[in-house]
A and B are shown apart, each in its own frame.
Chain A
Amino acid sequence: MNGELCRHCLLPVRRGGYAREVNGEPSIFCCYGCALAFQVRHGQGEEAEAVGLLIRLGVGGFLSMNIMLFSLLIYTGTLELEDPLVVHAIHWLLWALGTAVMIVLGGPFLVQAWRALREGRLIADSLISLGAVAAYGYSTLEVWNGGDGIYFDTATMVLVLFTLGRYLEAAGRARAARSLAPLLAAERAEANVVGDGADQRRPVIELAPGSIVRVRPGERVPVDGIVIEGASQCDEAILTGEPKPRIKTAGTPIYAGSLNGTGQLLVRMTAAGQATRWGEISAYVRRALARSSRLERLVDRVAAAFVPAVVVLAVGVVVFWSQRLSFEQALMIGLAVLVVACPCALGLAAPLATGQAIWHAIERGVLVRGGQVLESLARVRTVAFDKTGTLTQGVARLEGVHVTGAISRNEILRRAGAVALGSEHAFAAATVEAAQARRLSLEPATGVRAYPGEGAIGTRGPTRIAVGSAALLVGRLGWICPPDLVVAAQKSAADGLSLVYVGWNARVYGVLVFVSDVAKVAKPMLQALARQGISVALLSGDRPEATRHVAEDLGIEAWQGGLSAQDKVVALSALEKRGPVAMVGDGLNDGPALASATVSVAVGGATDLARETADIALPAEGLGELPEVIALARRTRRTITGNIAWAFGYNFLALAAASTGLLQPVLAAALMAGSSLFVLLRTIARNARQGRIQVLQPITESLPKARLAR
């Protein structure tokens, strides 16, 4: 440390000192004050919110301090004032200062309270307004009449404390919202447009595709496009949940919302604003935040009833005590009652915690539809899983084809592929892929009709082709299945493989054998759920043998196979008897089931419709996120209920103490500010980021355990 200077005041720092990182550079300072002052002058952070409040606080504080000083002098008898003219003059001075404070600090509260009153509502601002006006009014009367009961110092200190509380609330909320800001800013983003001469900064909605945009290091990419010049790395976590940076060079696509690394890039824009994935997520999050949950609505109702109740209490208290003490003293007790009540904690508790939780989920690529979802998820006792595409990888593999007679395997594939081209099912995709791997040309079948959970029937030329389960071909259509195929199929079935029958002209000619590997993350994820005390069920439309195979593999005891979409709904309502149920699926043949569950969870490979309408949408390969999201939901719920419990407890005790005259108004105001601050800090601290988790690290058995052990 020898020979180092404080970066701010340039005084030497020989030993000790104060190290802080400012603007990314480690710096040394001689004291906290210098560190702070340096940050104030040179820090490149975001603009502070509520600066107006802070200025008011400073000016109001300045005025109040002067009032306090004079009041202190009088109170301690320091100024031996026998001359009544001097006393009177000082009182008028206090009045002048007090009026200034009422305007500067009291103004905003009064304005808000008046607006609410015109709508027939009483809000928290009404309480402080009433109290401050009462104390100020009474003191003004006293000054006018030459009396002694001057309480400007009390009224102004109360206003200062309230404003301080408001500022801290606003700053805290702004801080929490700041992390969400980039996500909500898609449409309002601006880009540096390259043209003749210097770059112009313009809003992205004004730009047309083809515009050239310069993305500077550290900037958030404002548009979708192709890189035409430059090299850098981009963090696309906001879009995919994957924090691994992607290399971007000429020719690579780049996505709006991702964070640029250290290189500068020139991008030819292809899309911006709402047309980008970033824009979609932004809109989604905005809607999610706007949806209030049941709990929030309840809290709002309680808060709305609370304020009038406090006013009534205050009036009653004044009446009561004025019969036993002087009116002044009764007034002060009433003021304390008005001021100590803290409905803010109630209103603050839920939205802040919920917003943060939704943000944390987004950072992992998990989309949560609203606060109510988190609430319900926290209470979930059972999670039901679909099999194909959910617990098993969305990608199926064709393992073999059983044929009969002279029909070739390629012929089976050609015909099955014709019908499969129109389907989103994992088996259909695997069929098409296998056909293409054999370089078979596929002619799409016409008039394809899908039977959810069973298969599909289409026409190619004169032939009617059916692809699906035995229930479809043999059961529903009544086609004949040759015995050698039956035997071969049974053997594969006993191995737990999935079968798809292919037939035409009223005969079954082949059986496609598929294997869907169980997702690697499934087992650790299920173990994590078990540790969270959640029971698991497997509901599948696939054959019972295949389902049993997977269930045994994963250690799931409650499983049912061969379920139709309707059957799944029935199974879910049976599970609901034990408590709220979450259903995890891909929307292919479990749409109704997803809709009927308390919480619907769409996996990464789900249909677009499922992802749009599900309560929770996991990212691609994101099945392992489920326990984390549940833990997040539980933590949030505990925070909210804790805050509410505090709010009730505090208000009850504080109002009781104030009503019995135990609290001075200034002390009451300090307590109230302290209570708001406590709720705020508690919420922020509990939901503070606990460190990034690599979602797509090589997934090992131990990964989910490691996460939950935090």
Chain B
Amino acid sequence: MTDLIPYLAVFAGGFVGSVHCVGMCGGFACALCASRDRSLWRRQLLYNLGRVSTYVFLGGLAGLAGGWIVHEGAGWGSAPQRLLAVVSGTLLIVIALQFFGYRLSARLGRAAIVTDSLAAGLRSVARNPRLSAPLALGALNGFLPCPLVYAFAVQAAATAAVLPGMALMGAFGLGTFPAMLFMGFGGALLGPRFKQAQVAGALLLVLGVITLARAMLPAPVHGGHV
């Protein structure tokens, strides 16, 4: 049972982070519900299936990559693994701060051309009536740059193996499931969600700090697992 605790933590992280997911990707889920309502359940499920599938894939890749960085059998506590945990914890803290309103500003410039084309493409996919469209949208959506996903992907890399990486990202994806389904059916955003954002931000902050702490503390404290 204790082996599952890390995964539960990640699940919670996904659930909590859904506040952000709802904000950003809820838009996509909403765009899907603009089509015929009869197949709404199927479309939403396909969409989320595609999304979570991509996350799991990223997790597997991350785990593989992590495995290269961290030599097999090095176990918890090796320097590269700590480094990955540090990165992950930092990313989580950064996202938590975003929930409180502190962002890193970004400039796009020329890449704006890519955004416009990408946005137009995704918009057309979302409106397409075929059943394959939600699945495609979900699969592509999962690749969109999202700091939350990256934070957990780094954690997946820290597991240094394919299967745990997959499982970790799968847990994350499942954590976002409820909120995304809700968005898909609910539709309208219920106004500014300061309070929820701050609670979520606080929880993510705690998660980030814990991850960082575990990266810094000596090995025996952990009990040998992520």
Query: Interface on A for B, CB 8 Å cutoff?
Result: 5-6, 8-18, 20, 30-41, 43, 45-48, 50-51, 54-59, 61-62, 65-66, 68-69, 72-73, 76, 78-79, 171, 175
Contacts and interface: CB of A to CB of B under 8 A. Distances in A.
Given A11-B20, A40-B119, A62 B125 contact: no
Contacts of A79: 163
Contacts of B121: 48, 50-51, 54, 171
B152 to A, nearest CB: 15
B24 A33 contact: yes
A11 B204 CA distance: 15
B23 A18 contact: no
A106 to B, nearest CB: 16
B162 A76 contact: yes
Grouping DSSP codes into helix (H, G, I), strand (E, B) and loop, the B interface class, with mixed when no group exceeds half, is helix
B120 A48 contact: yes
Contacts of A9: 20, 22-24, 26, 189
A55 B104 CA distance: 33
B132 interface: yes
A58 B26 CA distance: 19
B61 to A, nearest CB: 8
B36 interface: no
B98 interface: yes
Nearest to A175: B117
A122 B64 CA distance: 39
A36 B106 CA distance: 14
Given A11-B23, A15-B101, A15-B103, A36 B147 contact: no
B50 interface: yes
B105 interface: yes
B106 A11 contact: no
> Number of contact residues on B: which range applies?
35 or more
Interface in B52-109: 53-54, 56-57, 60-61, 64, 67, 98-106, 108
B216 to A, nearest CB: 27
B25 A37 contact: yes
Given A14-B101, A48-B123, A32 B135 contact: no
Contacts of A38: 27
B116 interface: yes
8 closest Cβ contacts across the A-B interface? A9-B23, A58-B136, A14-B101, A16-B103, A39-B119, A12-B101, A16-B105, A65-B57
A31 B95 CA distance: 11
B102 A54 contact: no
Interface stretch (B1-9, B174-182, B192-200): B192-200
B39 interface: no
A131 B113 CA distance: 33
Contacts of B102: 14-16
Given A9-B26, A32-B106, A48-B117, 6 more contacts: A11-B99, A12-B197, A37-B25, A45-B119, A51-B121, A69-B60
B28 A68 contact: no
A13 B157 CA distance: 30
A6 B135 CA distance: 28
A78 to B, nearest CB: 5
Interface in B154-192: 161-163, 166, 189, 191-192
Contacts of B130: 55
Interface string B6-40: 00000000000001101111111011000000000
Query: Most B CB atoms within 10 A — which of A40, A55, A61, A79?
Result: A40
A73 B163 contact: yes
- A39, A46, A79, A175: most-surrounded residue (chain B CB, <10 A): A39
Given A40-B31, A69-B166, A47 B136 contact: no
A605 B145 CA distance: 56
B137 interface: yes
Contacts of B105: 15-18
Given A14-B102, A31-B147, A72 B115 contact: no
A62 B103 contact: no
B120 A10 contact: no
Contacts of B23: 6, 8-11, 30, 34
B221 interface: no
Given A40-B31, A55-B125, A57-B136, A32 B120 contact: no
A454 B4 CA distance: 101
A171 B101 contact: no
A59 B140 CA distance: 9
B24 A8 contact: yes
A13 B101 contact: yes
A6 B189 CA distance: 13
A39 B116 contact: yes
A38 B123 CA distance: 10
A30 to B, nearest CB: 6
Nearest to B57: A65
B123 A18 contact: no
B139 interface: yes
B153 interface: no
B118 interface: yes
Contacts of A36: 115, 118-119, 122, 144
B132 A59 contact: yes
A43 B133 CA distance: 19
A541 to B, nearest CB: 51
16 contacts: A11-B98, A12-B194, A14-B100, A15-B105, A16-B103, A32-B106, A36-B115, A39-B123, A40-B122, A40-B123, A45-B120, A47-B124, A58-B140, A65-B54, A69-B60, A73-B163
A22 to B, nearest CB: 9
Contacts of B50: 58, 62
A37 B28 contact: yes
A51 B106 CA distance: 29
A12 B98 CA distance: 8
A39 B24 contact: no
Contacts of A12: 100-101, 194, 197
B151 interface: no
A8 B166 CA distance: 30
B64 A76 contact: yes
B50 to A, nearest CB: 5
Contacts of A37: 24-25, 27-28
B162 A78 contact: yes
Contacts of A39: 115-116, 119, 123
Contact of B119 (A11, A17, A43, A62): A43
A50 to B, nearest CB: 8
A689 to B, nearest CB: 12
A43 B120 contact: yes
Given A54-B136, A58-B50, A69 B57 contact: yes
A78 B193 contact: no
Nearest to B166: A69
Most buried by A among B22, B121, B145: B121
Most chain A CB inside 10 Å of its own CB: which residue of B57, B103, B126, B139: B103
A54 B125 contact: yes
A593 to B, nearest CB: 44
Given A9-B24, A10-B192, A12-B194, A32 B145 contact: yes
Contact of A62 (B53, B108, B123, B145): B53
Contact of B144 (A33, A55, A72): A33
Given A9-B20, A48-B124, A73-B163, A61 B28 contact: no
A38 B25 CA distance: 9
Nearest to B106: A18
A13 B144 CA distance: 21
Nearest to A43: B119
A510 to B, nearest CB: 66
A224 B50 CA distance: 50
B217 interface: no
B47 to A, nearest CB: 10
Contacts of A50: 121
